[in-house]
């Protein structure tokens, strides 16, 4: 834990998903909530998406951060803020495009989450 998924509109030509993932991972580690090797992240470029109804240059990056249940609302808010700031700081965005950055915290039931380490 945690699992971070970035979904972003593919029209962000200058966005480096790998750099954003690394920056958010660093922010999550600095929060003191997670062990380094437990932070898992991935990015998905969306070929087909629509923002609003007007034909304007728009884009988005949506971060979903799934964490185990049991954290306070304040801790979740802090993780959201840290993730959003890291995303904003790392995102090289194209000029002339309105970009929405979002972070969503999702809770995974601690009692039902399973994890196993396999080292060969």
Number of domains composing the chain: 1
Residue 14 placed within a domain: yes
Residue 118 placed within a domain: no
pLDDT per position as a tens digit, 74-118: 999 999 999 999 999 988 888 899 999 999 999 999 889 888 888
Domain that holds residue 35: 3-112
pLDDT at 91 (0 to 100): 80
Residue 120 placed within a domain: no
CATH (domain of 21): 3.30.429.10
Tokens coding 8: 């972003």
Cα–Cα distance between 93 and 64 in angstroms, integer? 20
For the entire predicted model, the pTM comes to 0.90
């Amino acid at each position: 834990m945690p699992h971070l998924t970035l979904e972003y509109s593919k029209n962000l030509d200058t966005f480096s998903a790998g750099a954003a993932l690394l920056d958010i991972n660093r922010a999550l580690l600095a929060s003191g909530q997670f062990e380094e090797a437990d932070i898992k992240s991935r990015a998905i470029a969306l070929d087909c998406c629509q923002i609003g109804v007007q034909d304007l240059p728009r884009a988005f990056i949506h971060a979903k951060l799934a964490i185990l249940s049991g954290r306070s609302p304040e801790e979740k808010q802090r993780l959201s803020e840290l993730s959003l700031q890291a995303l904003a700081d790392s995102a090289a965005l194209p000029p002339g495009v309105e970009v929405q950055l979002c972070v969503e915290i999702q809770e995974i039931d601690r009692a039902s989450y399973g994890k196993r380490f396999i080292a060969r």
